[in-house]
């Protein structure tokens, strides 16, 4: 796995699989004895109209995208924590894959957005 494959896998797992799981779960009924925060979220979601649901989904995707971008920047040493000493180095099978993760991620997001917009215009 190289840096692009890593970013693509991470993006797919978070922005597709996890995102879909969250919203599919919100469409189910609250579970007696279940996690109170999830049940409260399901209750709130059930009272939203379709436009509000789409806006919430867009906002959650924005948060997930921003979080992945920020974590990638940390791994690439583009930004650091206030008390950080040294540099991060993400390796896979002895090969360094960090350094361009954020750039790759943002390029993939831009390509995805362009493809989505082109699809809407067809």
Distance CA 12, CA 105 (A): 11
Q: Rounded to whole angstroms, how far apart are CA atoms 79 and 70?
A: 8
Residue 98 has pLDDT above 90, yes or no: yes
Whole-model pTM? 0.86
- CA 21/CA 15 separation, integer angstroms: 10
User: CB burial class (10 A; 0-12, 13-18, 19+) of residue 73?
Assistant: middle
Cβ-contact 8, 109 below 8 angstroms: no
Instruction: Determine contact, residues 102/73, Cβ cutoff 8 Å.
Output: yes
pLDDT digits (tens, 9 = 90+) for 56-94: 999 999 999 999 999 999 999 999 999 999 999 999 999
């Amino acid at each position: 796995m190289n840096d692009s494959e890593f970013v693509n896998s991470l993006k797919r797992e978070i922005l597709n699989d996890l995102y879909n799981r969250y919203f599919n779960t919100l469409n189910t009924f609250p579970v007696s004895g279940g996690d109170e925060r999830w049940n409260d979220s399901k209750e709130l979601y059930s009272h939203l109209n379709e436009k509000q649901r789409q806006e919430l989904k867009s906002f959650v995707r924005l948060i997930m995208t921003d979080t992945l971008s920020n974590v990638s920047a940390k791994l690439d040493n583009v930004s650091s924590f206030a008390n950080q000493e040294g540099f991060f180095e993400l390796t896979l099978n002895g090969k360094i894959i960090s350094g361009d993760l954020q750039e790759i991620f943002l390029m993939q997001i831009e390509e995805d957005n362009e493809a989505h917009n082109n699809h809407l215009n067809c």
